[in-house]
Amino acid sequence: MQKLSLSKLDQFLEAMAAHQALYLPVEDHSGQAKFQRWAPGVQLSSTLNTVRSAKDFFFPQTEDLVNFKLRGKEIEIIDPRTEHEDFVVFGVRGCDARSFTILDKVFLADPVDTYYQSRREHGTIVSLACTRPEETCFCTSFGIDPTCPQGDVTCWMEGDALYLTANTPKGEALLAQVADLTEACGDEAVKAQQERVSAILKKLPLANFSTKSFGGQVLMEVFDSEKWGTLSESCLGCGTCTFVCPTCQCYDIKDMDTGHGVQRFRCWDSCMYSDFTRMAHGNPRLTQKERFRQRFMHKLVYFPANNNGEYGCVGCGRCLSKCPISMNIVKVAKALEGDCK
C-alpha cells in the first residue's frame, strides 16, 4: 500500500494529468457533482457521488458510429472514430466501479462492441472508498463493499492522507507515474476506516434490503404480478431513472440527415419511453405499465437469468433520489417480493 499526503493532492493529480487525460468529480454551481476533466485549479468534490454515473466514459450518451458522405451518386463511408487517448477516471465509487463489470457483460460479449471496448482499453479506473454513505445507498445488497471498491487502483482518503493500492497491471503502471510522490506504508489507517464505515453501513435504512428472491426462476410469477398496475400508475414515463443509472445500457441508433450526408449515431434510449423498441407495427409495450415493468424485470429477472444470477443494479441510489415521483427499484422489489414464489 502507498500513501500520499493530501497536501500533495494537487501535485498528484497534476502528475497523472501530465501523462493522460484525468477526470474527477467536481461540483457545479448547483452544488451537485459531475465528472470533469482536471485542469489546474479544479477541485475534487467531497460529495458522495456524481449525478451522472461513470458509465458515460465508456458508453457516452451520444456517439457517432459512421458517417456517409454523398457526392453525386457516390456514397463515401467514413469511420468517425479517432484513436482514443488514454484517460484516468479518479474518484469512482464502489457502486459505479461494479457497474463496469455489468456493462462489460453486455458490450464485451460476442459480438463485441468495439466502440465500448476501445474506451475500456484506454481507461484506467481509480476508485475511492466511501466514508459517508447516505440513506439511499444499498450497494451492500449486491455484495459490493464500498469500503474497498474494485478498480485498477483503489484509494482511501483518511485523515491527511490518501492511501492507494494497485489491483491490476494498469493500476500499477499508473502508480508508477506518481511514485515519487507516494511512500510505502502499512494498512492500519485503512483498516480503521473500513471498520468505522462498515459500522455505518450496518445502520443504513436499506442495509437489509435484498433482491435475493428475484431471478430467472420467478420470471412468470413476477411478470404476471397484479401489482405492476399500482406501482406504475403515477410513473411519468420520463427517462431520469435510466439516464442516471450506471447499469442501464439500452441505446437507439439513428440517422441524422445533415443535408450533405448522413451521420449514423447512437444515443441512450429508455425503456420508459413510448417509442422504445418501436417496430413497424408500433411499440410492443402499449402502456406505461408494460414499459415500467420492463425496466425492473430487466434488472431483477432477465439480467440475472442470463448472467449467473448477477442483478442489473449496483445500489448506487441515484434513481431513489432523482425520480420525480419517488418510485424506484427498492419500492418495486419490496412490493413484489411476495410474488416470488
Partner 1 sequence: MQGMNEFKPKIVAFCCNWCSYAGADLAGTNRLNYPADVKIIRVPCSCRVNPLFILRAFQRGADGVILCGCHPGDCHYTTGNYYARRRMTLLFSMLDYLGIEKERTRVEWVSAAEGAKFAATMNDFVATVTKLGENKRLEDLRCKQQ
Partner 2 sequence: MQAAMISRAKELLQGGQVQRVLGWKTGEFVYDITPAVFQSVEELEAEFVYNDFCGNNLSKYLIKESRQPGKVLVFLKPCDTYSFNQLVKEHRILRDNVYVIGVPCEGKTDGETLKAAGVRGILGLQAQGDRFLVETLYGSQELEKAQALPERCQNCKSKKHVAYDELMGEEGQVLQSGRFDMVEKLEAMTPDERFNFWRGELSRCIRCNACRNVCPACSCEKCVFDNDNSGVAQKAAANSFEENMFHIIRAFHVAGRCTDCGECSRVCPQNIPLHLLNRKFIKDIDTFYGDYQAGEDTESRAPLTNYTEGDVEPSIVYQRGGN
* Contacts with partner 1, residue ranges (CB under 8 A): 256, 258-260, 263
Which class for 117: exposed (0-12), middle (13-18), buried (19 or more C-beta within 10 A)?
Answer: middle
Closest CA to 152 of 166, 136, 142: 166
**Cβ closest to partner 2, residue 12 vs residue 268:** 268
Q: Are 179 and 209 in contact (CB under 8 A)?
A: no
Ramachandran bin of 4, using left for φ above 0, alpha for ψ from -120 to 50, beta for the remaining angles: beta
Measured distance CA(63)–CA(86) in Å, rounded: 18
From the list 82-90, 121-129, 147-155, 260-268, the region that binds partner 2 by CB under 8 A is 260-268
- Please, which residues have CB within 8 angstroms of residue 169's CB and are 6 or more apart in sequence? none
CB of 65 to partner 1, least distance (A): 14
**Cβ closest to partner 2, residue 12 vs residue 292:** 292
**Cβ closest to partner 1, residue 172 vs residue 255:** 255
Interface with partner 2 includes 35 (CB under 8 A)? no
Rounded to a whole number of angstroms, the CA Rg of the chain reads 22
The only residue of 8, 19, 34, 264 in contact with partner 2, by rule CB under 8 A: 34
Residue with cell 411478470: 223
Which of positions 219-258 make contact with partner 2 (CB under 8 A)? Answer: 230, 233-234, 236-240, 242-244, 252, 254, 256
Ramachandran bin of 41, using left for φ above 0, alpha for ψ from -120 to 50, beta for the remaining angles: left
Q: Which does 37 bind (CB under 5 to 8 A by kind): partner 2, partner 1, none?
A: none
Interface with partner 2 includes 153 (CB under 8 A)? no
CB of 263 to partner 1, least distance (A): 6
Interface with partner 2 includes 198 (CB under 8 A)? no
Q: Are 207 and 201 in contact (CB under 8 A)?
A: yes
From the list 140-148, 150-158, 212-220, 266-274, the region that binds partner 2 by CB under 8 A is 266-274
The only residue of 42, 148, 200, 335 in contact with partner 2, by rule CB under 8 A: 200
Measured distance CA(96)–CA(244) in Å, rounded: 11
**Cβ closest to partner 1, residue 19 vs residue 69:** 69
DSSP for 207-267 reads: TT---TT-SGGGHHHHHT-TTHHHHHTT----SHHHHH-SS---EEEEEEE-SSEEEEEEE
The only residue of 10, 86, 104, 134 in contact with partner 2, by rule CB under 8 A: 134
Interface with partner 2 includes 29 (CB under 8 A)? yes
From the list 73-81, 166-174, 175-183, 320-328, the region that binds partner 2 by CB under 8 A is 320-328
CB of 69 to partner 1, least distance (A): 9
Residue with cell 482511501: 156
Interface with partner 2 includes 62 (CB under 8 A)? yes
Which of positions 274-293 make contact with partner 2 (CB under 8 A)? Answer: 274-275
Q: In this structure, which amino acid lies at residue 58?
A: F
Which triple of cell numbers denotes residue 254? 439513428
**Cβ closest to partner 2, residue 185 vs residue 250:** 250
Q: Are 227 and 234 in contact (CB under 8 A)?
A: no
Q: Are 323 and 241 in contact (CB under 8 A)?
A: yes
CB of 259 to partner 1, least distance (A): 5
Measured distance CA(130)–CA(44) in Å, rounded: 14
Binding-site ranges for partner 2 (CB under 8 A): 28-32, 34, 48, 51-52, 61-62, 132-136, 200, 203-206, 230, 233-234, 236-240, 242-244, 252, 254, 256, 265, 267-270, 273-275, 320-322, 324-328, 330-331, 334
